[in-house]
Homo-oligomer: A and B are copies of this chain.
């Protein structure tokens, strides 16, 4: 925004521009849009920000985001509490829940180990995962971190930590995405698909 713009508008634009994936042009457009919104809608938006930040925290069991002590999945008695799916972010839970196939529970790490970004194991929610496994009754821990260098490294690190507890640790399958086109698959994916081929 230029210096002829009203200061409160400039400040609002800067706030929008801090959000991920929102550049200065989009932020300007959003700030102008807010000006054309009814006052009560702007107040609702402003309140929603504060309310979400103030009331939402980590689930005492799985570290998912929730506004009560335990998240709805941990509270759900129909879920299989002996299987834990370990994910990087709360968003990943939504992805698994959309499949409707997974009946176990989750554990959110809130990051991946990355020495380059100075993210060490202690910065993640690994200790609470170990504590859950230590309490017993866990059959399987599924490492569902992203198939990236950091995701793989974090999965291996945690699987080493879990070995002494005699729990089965598995990793998501790698292969061709369903509906994908072989021609466009990268070499590593194709190699993994070949390596993990199944009998028909």
Contacts and interface: CB of A to CB of B under 8 A. Distances in A.
A89 B28 CA distance: 12
Chain A at the B interface: SS class: helix
The number of chain A residues touching the other chain, given as a range, is 35 or more
Contacts of A55: 6, 8
A149 interface: no
A65 interface: yes
A6 B66 contact: yes
Interface of A: 1-9, 11-12, 14-15, 18-22, 26, 28-35, 37, 39, 41-56, 65-67, 71-73, 89-91, 93-94, 97-98
How many copies of this chain are found per oligomer? 2
A70 to B, nearest CB: 11
A1 B97 CA distance: 10
A11 B51 contact: yes
A29 B65 contact: no
A41 B55 CA distance: 16
Max chain B CB contacts within 10 Å: which of A3, A14, A31, A41?
A31
Given A6-B66, A65-B35, A91 B29 contact: yes
